Structure 1
């Protein structure tokens, strides 16, 4: 995989999309200064805007009205210029996500029509969808008379202008048709999203993607799949990330938290996390399973045997900061192996994994869309029919709620206590985009009663004066996420957000509910996630390694050492992670504590050269546990050292020093610093020094 090419493409794609959207907005009379009125020569059928006097007709007039209404609604919550910037970013990433998704699907022959949209299978300059437009008309939902004429003219003349006009129709038709198969990524585009994007195969983002990124990087039979999606997302966000983290060192605004905190997790780290949590847990039930041979990054160490009953369909795995879904997708691969070993076919296993085993939460809609897409594509790899039916899954994106009208609650068939709980949840979720998965609830909710209350609202099919249907949908979304956050999981694995420059609201919340772990957002996630696991369950992380040593995280360390088990940990070389200027570790905790808990630790500090070098040394340790940088240490040893730093490499001899009944400064010895032994000979007063020396 050529990460340099991927980075260059993604950065330029974002710039190109944003510039083209800004230009279209200006042509519609929408700028940072506000919304212009239509020009005097406008009629009911045609409207003119902008300095160039450009016109819009038909459906585009309605779409512009929708666009203006959306912007004005956003401007009630923030400054106009910020609202405009946020909308431009939303439109840009929406089309970027869709273009990437279509490319992935056409390379792997997952498109329902079987015809490529962005490229030609025979390497022609014109995409196959243009040449086969009439053969796949039914797959694209049919054409109007006008659309039919435009497409036919393009095929007859092959004039570039005509071909471009036909391509806009066909691309949009394909995006809309995919709504049936992937509704949460390909929302219907018969709105302002369509007004602000004009696809072109001959220049711009689509052409650059086809020309500059190797097709094999998308091919699941040649090592493609989620990693290319993750890196594209990571690099697409690199400029907003750098802009946010470099702003005067001040606190990060709520809308900027995703850009500031999201980092794609390197593939081998994902595999280490899942192999040593989900994989290890399965081996505790089935120690002789042949799956063990496929756990490439399972670190050496004894595996306890469990004797309680095991039901794979009830095993739950959560990533509560899922980004583009890398961890969940690899967990999917491992779960498929488990289901097959338990006697399931791939098709039934795929349905079960999506419906029962995998859960994901995310504050960033663009990342959520890609995680959803990546998981659906992984499911499609094992079940060819998965996209031809409604699919139940457990991925959710946090959306900040507004007040729900009292009339909505009055129409519910529910007790006073249940209505009160709904009010409480609505209040908490007003800060959903700020808090995400660290939301704290003061009580355990009765979700059966809550869902029953919301579902007692009638579905509104007519004029909805009170916004009943929107409120019902919003409440159901809140309940689904809150239920996830109050569930205990067998495995919780994530690369949590790293953020110590919290804004006032977030800092206040963290201090109130997570004071002992408030040094950084990642440390809050460390504690919250291990608390969300079942007894004897596992939580896995990739985080900065400062929590292991410095005083800021002493409360976190002591809480872990007092009640949890450090199953394994890999401390990487200081600058190994090329994508961030933070020293990284990855580790697995077990929600269990035994007096003689012994963990496996790898110290890779001496091995420089980036994550690939780190990976090779991990594999060496897996193959040969006698390597000098592998340590097996009882975690009770850490408590012998003041501050409980995780100094897993120190010798027994040094530990004995810390085990002395009294510290040196408590023994009563007289203390004296450095001394010349002959002060009159060596000391000089200031005026005795030759200032000319």
Structure 2
């Protein structure tokens, strides 16, 4: 798949479509600054038809409700979605007419539908109107009419993708669409046809790339302290999950559910060969780790009780849910796995496709655009197995909030305690049918929120809650206090509640280690088994570079079994998406860890790679926090006003005082560059109201300091008396007799290994230092302290030999 071409087209298409939609609005007297008379019958001297008058009034009402920019955005993406859906259907010969709407048989931008207009059987097509356009040589108008009619005809089979035309969306249909440089022309010519052939995931890539500029705009606004609105959350957080990770999650949750039924004697012995064939097909399925006999027995009893249902085969009514379905990538592969299971049991693929859509798959998304595409992707999957599927009136359980205000704000995080009765359908269809459809959609959205599911699999949004709007921030703090730091963490907790049997997700890996997620971690460790994990680290998504976004994908089984052993695939070393996949498939770097051992480490991090020796160090020694006082530094709120380099001032002591502020990797001594305005005990800083002064009673005392942000190994330094310490240069205070010994221990290789267990992120906080177990060797304490003292002296001489040191006199070699 040529993703470069797909991205280039999608980004360009968004800009072009928005310009063209705005131009159409302008032709009807509607601009960003106003729209004149909402009931106008003429615009710029042109008389409007009755239909155009109604469409224009509807457009004005939408602008009054949502704003001009939002309406233009929505119309542009509506046409984009329809165009790419039609293109996918024509390439795969899924259009009922089997006549191409954009290209000819050779794949060129030369719409076959124009040549067949007089002979094609298309519902709603008025041949007299076709003949009139042909007679007047109105090729552009004819093509517009044919496309609109084709979209209307598809409404019967795909109503959520091709909504009934006639409203303002039709009014704003772009001009000049037959030109080779039009959106349609570039869509046909720029993206190879083979990329559309039986590859419904192209829809997801187009959706992600279409949002590229909107995503960049959103983060630019965030840098200006403009919070992310509910309308922008989808574009800011949507990320197409790599295909192999989707396969890993689905095979090890949905696939494992079926295999559980076999392993614990629910299926007959004759089924084992079929299951072996399924496992051979599922390349990303990870066999469960060998368990101790007691645990294995407990698992057999547990699974037998949970899955033994004599009234039905286990897969027939298995419910699979993606609460953040995006463009449907996870659901589409779940469809494939369900199909594997059904056909292995002798089901006809046509019947299986109907059952999967009606009874097995469920999905929600806060973004209507994404929900439309997910809906389309699942329907195309069913069409792949049943050529008449679109005529059967079957619709999937996939929804967006519609006009449901709370759903728009909180999405699948919304808690629905009790579902109200289903809205009653009107006895007769009226002009207000759309209102009923919207009510029904909102009710279905809440219905899915109110249910439990056998299997839940998703890639949730990653966004610090503090970056969201006030309403979202407040709701999450109230309803998800153990996971309130980030949306992905709140979704872990919500999905844990949704799931009755298996949960699989890909999230940022910080929940595994950070103290802010300790309660969430504990909750999961005491209520689920971590069956397996693919710890991905940085660069799991080829679209995201750098070390900031580090991820993990994991599979949880509901129910806790003490002593359970999970399989952990450590994939943090490869620096490419492909490299991680290759390492996973090669079975490299796999660890078996007893889940209960995590509780032996302070904070219970998911440190699956820890050796028995290191584990014993944690259990047999006091930690640094019990023997010292690690303290976070102060936040000034306005560094530019109160911090200076020492060489920017004349003298220290009355107004300006030494300030420790982290710095580059350096051990033992140094990084002494800054001074702070602390005149009158910091009266000026405190008066601003923006500063947070921490541990004021410990300021200017001797201690050990380090940089809070690290890019690799940590480094610790001696800090003499007389220093203020800022937030990026935290300090650990300890009795004089242990100060040098502790400094030596912190700078030893063992501490780097321990730090990585406690918190393998870029930030080393005072709370992390407090958890480090301190091995005190009394017989070596004196020798080690003396050696550290020498190291401090040598490092100080080295530091003072540079002109950046306050105590520089001259270089020793001069």
Structure 1 length normalisation: TM-score? Answer: 0.84
Could you tell me whether the CA contact under 8 Å between 1:570 and 1:587 is conserved in 2? Answer: yes
Which of 128, 148, 154 is the matching residue for 1:145?
128
Matches within 5 A, 1:435-450: 435-441=410-416, 443-445=417-419, 450=421
Please report how far the alpha carbon of residue 460 of structure 1 lies from its aligned counterpart in structure 2 after TM superposition: 5.1
- The residue that corresponds to 1:406 in the other structure is none
- The residue that corresponds to 1:85 in the other structure is 69
In structure 2, what is the Cα distance between the partners aligned to 1:604 and 1:567? 17
- The residue that corresponds to 2:738 in the other structure is 671
Please report how far the alpha carbon of residue 84 of structure 1 lies from its aligned counterpart in structure 2 after TM superposition: 0.7
1:584 aligns with 2:584: no
Which of 148, 160, 163 is the matching residue for 1:187?
163
Secondary structure at the counterpart of residue 314 of structure 1:
coil
Q: 1:688 to 1:527 in 2, by over 3 A?
A: closer
Secondary structure at the counterpart of residue 531 of structure 2:
strand
In structure 2, what is the Cα distance between the partners aligned to 1:188 and 1:283? 44
Please report how far the alpha carbon of residue 17 of structure 1 lies from its aligned counterpart in structure 2 after TM superposition: 0.1
Could you tell me whether the CA contact under 8 Å between 2:371 and 2:400 is conserved in 1? Answer: yes
**Per-residue CA shift, 1:274-303, capped at 9, x if unaligned?**
011001111111342121111110123248
In structure 2, what is the Cα distance between the partners aligned to 1:681 and 1:86? 64
**After the TM superposition, which of the residue ranges 336-345 and 141-150 deviates more from structure 2?**
141-150
Please report how far the alpha carbon of residue 258 of structure 1 lies from its aligned counterpart in structure 2 after TM superposition: 1.1
In structure 2, what is the Cα distance between the partners aligned to 1:169 and 1:638? 65
Which of 397, 417, 427 is the matching residue for 1:459?
427
**Per-residue CA shift, 1:538-588, capped at 9, x if unaligned?**
111111111111222222111111221111111124223222351222111
- The residue that corresponds to 1:404 in the other structure is none
1:110 aligns with 2:94: yes
In structure 2, what is the Cα distance between the partners aligned to 1:509 and 1:2? 41
Secondary structure at the counterpart of residue 588 of structure 1:
strand
Could you tell me whether the CA contact under 8 Å between 1:325 and 1:375 is conserved in 2? Answer: yes
Which of 68, 79, 82 is the matching residue for 1:95?
79
- The residue that corresponds to 2:666 in the other structure is none
Please report how far the alpha carbon of residue 509 of structure 1 lies from its aligned counterpart in structure 2 after TM superposition: 0.6
- The residue that corresponds to 2:760 in the other structure is none
> Size of the alignment, in residue pairs?
616
Matches within 5 A, 1:528-547: 528-534=494-500, 537-547=501-511
1:355 aligns with 2:422: no
Please report how far the alpha carbon of residue 30 of structure 1 lies from its aligned counterpart in structure 2 after TM superposition: 0.9
- The residue that corresponds to 2:486 in the other structure is 520
In structure 2, what is the Cα distance between the partners aligned to 1:607 and 1:285? 36
1:273 aligns with 2:273: no
Please report how far the alpha carbon of residue 246 of structure 1 lies from its aligned counterpart in structure 2 after TM superposition: 2.5
Could you tell me whether the CA contact under 8 Å between 1:38 and 1:48 is conserved in 2? Answer: no
User: Which structure: greater helix fraction?
Assistant: 1
In structure 2, what is the Cα distance between the partners aligned to 1:117 and 1:690? 78
**Per-residue CA shift, 1:177-198, capped at 9, x if unaligned?**
1112211111122121111113
Please report how far the alpha carbon of residue 329 of structure 1 lies from its aligned counterpart in structure 2 after TM superposition: 0.6
- The residue that corresponds to 1:427 in the other structure is none
- The residue that corresponds to 2:344 in the other structure is 341
**Per-residue CA shift, 1:191-220, capped at 9, x if unaligned?**
211111136232311100100101111111
- The residue that corresponds to 1:297 in the other structure is 284
- The residue that corresponds to 2:118 in the other structure is 134
Matches within 5 A, 1:119-130: 119-123=103-107, 125-130=109-114
Which of 362, 367, 381 is the matching residue for 1:364?
367
**Per-residue CA shift, 1:635-693, capped at 9, x if unaligned?**
11211111111111111110011111644665899513266668999999x99956455
**Per-residue CA shift, 1:508-544, capped at 9, x if unaligned?**
111111101111011011111122111xx11111111
1:653 aligns with 2:613: yes
**Per-residue CA shift, 1:212-236, capped at 9, x if unaligned?**
101111111xxx22x1111011100
1:230 aligns with 2:204: yes
- The residue that corresponds to 2:214 in the other structure is 240
Which of 569, 573, 578 is the matching residue for 1:606?
573
**After the TM superposition, which of the residue ranges 658-667 and 103-112 deviates more from structure 2?**
658-667
1:259 aligns with 2:251: no
Q: 1:461 to 1:399 in 2, by over 3 A?
A: closer
Secondary structure at the counterpart of residue 490 of structure 1:
strand
Q: 1:238 to 1:29 in 2, by over 3 A?
A: same
1:66 aligns with 2:66: no
Matches within 5 A, 1:479-498: 479-498=443-462
Could you tell me whether the CA contact under 8 Å between 1:168 and 1:198 is conserved in 2? Answer: no
Matches within 5 A, 1:18-33: 18-33=18-33
Matches within 5 A, 1:170-181: 170-181=146-157
Which of 602, 616, 619 is the matching residue for 2:582?
616
- The residue that corresponds to 1:48 in the other structure is 43
1:215 aligns with 2:193: yes
- The residue that corresponds to 1:415 in the other structure is none
In structure 1, what is the Cα distance between the partners aligned to 2:625 and 2:15? 61
Structure 2 length normalisation: TM-score? Answer: 0.72
Unaligned segments of structure 1, at least 5 residues? 75-82, 155-161, 402-429, 622-626
**Per-residue CA shift, 1:140-160, capped at 9, x if unaligned?**
422163432113454xxxxxx
Could you tell me whether the CA contact under 8 Å between 1:490 and 1:538 is conserved in 2? Answer: yes
**Per-residue CA shift, 1:41-94, capped at 9, x if unaligned?**
x9x6xx233xxx5664453233222211222233xxxxxxxx111101110111
Unaligned segments of structure 2, at least 5 residues? 264-271, 291-298, 629-734, 744-784
In structure 2, what is the Cα distance between the partners aligned to 1:292 and 1:334? 11
Larger RCO of the pair (alpha carbons < 8 Å, separation 6+): 1
Q: 1:557 to 1:678 in 2, by over 3 A?
A: closer
Q: 1:559 to 1:389 in 2, by over 3 A?
A: same
Secondary structure at the counterpart of residue 631 of structure 1:
strand
Q: 1:471 to 1:54 in 2, by over 3 A?
A: closer
Which of 393, 406, 411 is the matching residue for 1:431?
406
In structure 2, what is the Cα distance between the partners aligned to 1:38 and 1:471? 22
- Provide the alpha-carbon RMSD of the alignment: 2.7
Secondary structure at the counterpart of residue 440 of structure 1:
coil
In structure 2, what is the Cα distance between the partners aligned to 1:598 and 1:261? 34
Q: 1:580 to 1:56 in 2, by over 3 A?
A: farther
1:393 aligns with 2:367: no
Q: 1:145 to 1:62 in 2, by over 3 A?
A: farther
1:640 aligns with 2:623: no
Give the greater-gyration-radius structure (CA): 2
Could you tell me whether the CA contact under 8 Å between 2:38 and 2:56 is conserved in 1? Answer: no
Could you tell me whether the CA contact under 8 Å between 1:322 and 1:362 is conserved in 2? Answer: yes
In structure 2, what is the Cα distance between the partners aligned to 1:541 and 1:243? 28
In structure 2, what is the Cα distance between the partners aligned to 1:94 and 1:679? 67
Q: 1:135 to 1:690 in 2, by over 3 A?
A: closer
Could you tell me whether the CA contact under 8 Å between 2:7 and 2:209 is conserved in 1? Answer: yes
Could you tell me whether the CA contact under 8 Å between 1:336 and 1:346 is conserved in 2? Answer: yes
In structure 1, what is the Cα distance between the partners aligned to 2:470 and 2:61? 31
In structure 2, what is the Cα distance between the partners aligned to 1:125 and 1:298? 43
